[in-house]
Chain A
Amino acid sequence: MSDLIGYLLTGLGIGAGFALVGSGLVAIYRVTRVVNFAQGGFAVLAAMLTSSLLGAGLPHGVAELGGVALGALAGLIVGVVAIGRPGTSPGTSLIVTLGMGVLAYAIEVLIWGDQPRSYPGVTGVAEVAGARFPAHYLLILAVTAPVFLLMAWFFTRTDLGKALSACASNRYAAQVVGIDIRRMGLLAFAIGGALGGLAGVLTTPVQQVTFDSDVTLIVNGFAAAVLGGLTRPVVALAGGLLLGVTQTLAAGYGGGAYQVEVALVLMLTVMIVQAARTGPVPETAR
């Protein structure tokens, strides 16, 4: 029983990372219709910078913020390249973000090398209902929850957030009322970058990061996001947490094997069931 609670809480912590990456994907996809393949790279860049900043003696908090800021900046840059040219189709933009993800590899290896990196987070062991697990997982949850609340507030209560939602809802109408949809797309990329960065910064103390960790992150983030059709952040949150818990349970009770498969098969099943229900989804949704 205490095993189960331990698995659940660590699973939620891991899942929070997927949820952040996934909701970053959603933030970008809703506004731009682009699936951002470089999303995992934001997490890696942010984590790498944070490790350097901590190594240079900056205090916790400041270093992590620096990492998130780099994620946002990287998001903005990817956005400029991916949607900056007028008339770039979402399919083309997907390939461009794929290229940007590989470019991030070059930059990461150049600056930080190809060895895994990590840094200490909250040290010590937490005990909840008899389950013992690294206390850092609680920090992940304690940060992720308010971040999602903040996002919900931003997208539904502020005019800027509403304008972003308006682009997601009807791009043409957004143009008609004078919203600059390209600018909003870039803002969405920056938000997505920050969310990805936050995922990397939060989870690195419990899961070390290498330059190619982005593949696991993007696939799990996509799996979380695709549950809600890539457009519903709340479902992405739930999906990410579910994935994290499932994987941790699979690892805990399955002896470590096949945890990757669980998430991937889940994602494939969801997509195929969705496609079977709605018929082949036209790629160029407006």
Chain B
Amino acid sequence: MTRWALLAAGVATLALPPILPERYLATFVLLLLAATVTVGVSLLMGYAGQVSLGQASFYAIGAYAAGLLSVHGVPSLIALAVAPVVAAVAAVLLGAPLLRLRGHHLAFATLAVQLILLSVLAQADWAGGAIGLQGIPRLTVLGVELRDVGYAYAAWVVLAVALLISRNVIESRAGRGLRAAATSETAAAASGVAIGRYRLAVFTLSAAMAGLAGGVYAFYLGYLSPGSFPVLLSIEFVVMAVVGGLGTIAGPVVGAAVITVLVQVLNTLGTQPGMPDYAPSVLSYAVYALVLIVCVLYLPRGLVPALDRLRATRITVAERADPARTGP
């Protein structure tokens, strides 16, 4: 059911870019890119059971890799292809030590990595420093230089690739093993799942997705600065993943869409004449916060599974009895 709906949505969104007004087109492109990153975050949280508060690091690494390469004359399409590779390599190097950590330790470690990256970038003259990297050329595909609508399609393709990979992971044997690992590490280990390696694989994969999206972002904006990748952006990705539903295929897209549209609506509201100039940021912070809290407490599996359950109420679903032990 969900998959057909997704396919229909995919076709519909293909028709959308040419008819969208320009200011919504930008939102549309950023939404698709955010959804791509969120696919990775959702895999990581749902399938490796780990919270990353630094996913924007890999978004930034991909963006800077693509930007720097193309600024130095590498053909843009090759630079874009290298972006996810650089992000993945960074993830392997970081993941090897970091993934020994769990839960809040990993959350803080990923946050620390992002803060270090931002600080290094701000001091790196070769990357434009705090002022940023300017003059990134436009993305050229088959000799055609992409314009706004073109980026919408590029982002669409990137998201589609991420979703395909995500589906394959979820339906693979490794995916099922990881799913088990996310809930009970001992059980997964007992069933012979090589958790450590799978976990690193998912971490790397999620970084590659973020890197690829970051590459498109670099060419789309043509300008990068450390300020484009705040910690709050990482938190946004977590919010989107949690809202949509962790470890589902459609969840990240739904989550990204709901949050982006909500923020866009409030932004429009906040910039109405008569509203104070701080209104848009106050409203968007409040939305992230409230949506995250309400979802985590009342819809812990996210919107997509919740909607699925609503539909499935007529079919009796036998739930595994799980004797909840009180006490230690």
Contact = CB atoms under 8 A, between A and B. Distances in A.
Interface of A: 35, 81, 85, 88, 90-92, 94-96, 98-103, 105-106, 109-110, 113-114, 170-172, 175, 212, 215, 219, 222, 226, 257-258, 260-261, 264-265, 267-268, 271-272, 275-276, 280-283, 286
Interface in B298-324: 300
Interface string B72-110: 000000000000000000000000011011111101110
B115 A281 contact: no
A257 B281 CA distance: 30
Nearest to A89: B300
Contacts, number: 132
Given A219-B115, A264-B115, A113 B278 contact: yes
B101 A102 contact: no
B274 interface: no
B98 A272 contact: yes
B192 interface: no
Nearest to B327: A172
A172 B111 contact: no
Instruction: Give the secondary structure class of A's interface.
Output: helix
Given A103-B286, A105-B285, A110-B282, A260 B116 contact: yes
5 contacts: A99-B288, A105-B281, A105-B285, A226-B105, A271-B101
B297 interface: yes
A109 B119 contact: no
Contacts of A261: 116, 119-120
Contacts of B282: 106, 109-110
B250 to A, nearest CB: 21
Chain B at the A interface: mostly helix, strand, loop or mixed?
A: helix
B65 interface: no
A192 to B, nearest CB: 15
Interface stretch (B24-32, B230-238, B254-262): B230-238
Nearest to B120: A261
A35 B104 CA distance: 7
B230 to A, nearest CB: 8
A95 B50 CA distance: 12
Given A103-B293, A110-B282, A215-B111, 14 more contacts: A90-B103, A91-B51, A92-B296, A94-B51, A99-B288, A99-B292, A100-B293, A106-B285, A172-B327, A219-B115, A257-B123, A261-B120, A264-B115, A268-B109
A267 B285 contact: no
A98 B232 CA distance: 10
A102 B98 contact: no
A103 B289 contact: yes
Contacts of A110: 278, 282
B112 interface: yes
B292 A98 contact: yes
A94 B235 CA distance: 13
B242 interface: yes
A26 to B, nearest CB: 13
Contacts of A113: 278
Nearest to A175: B327
A110 B289 CA distance: 14
A247 to B, nearest CB: 12
Contacts of B328: 170-172, 286
Contact of A282 (B102, B231, B283): B102
B265 interface: no
B300 to A, nearest CB: 7
B8 interface: no
A175 B326 CA distance: 11
A29 to B, nearest CB: 9
B14 to A, nearest CB: 34
A115 to B, nearest CB: 10
B267 to A, nearest CB: 14
Contacts of B285: 102-103, 105-106, 109
A100 B111 CA distance: 17
Contacts of B231: 215
A96 B296 contact: yes
Of the candidates B98, B292, B300, the one having the most CB atoms from chain A within 10 angstroms of its own CB is B292
A5 B119 CA distance: 27
Contacts of A114: 278, 281
Contacts of B116: 260-261, 264-265
Contacts of A170: 328
Contact of B235 (A91, A98, A219, A226): A98
B324 to A, nearest CB: 8
B242 A95 contact: yes
A274 B188 CA distance: 24
Contacts of B141: none
A170 B103 CA distance: 21
B108 A219 contact: yes
B157 interface: no
Contacts of B292: 95-96, 98-99, 102
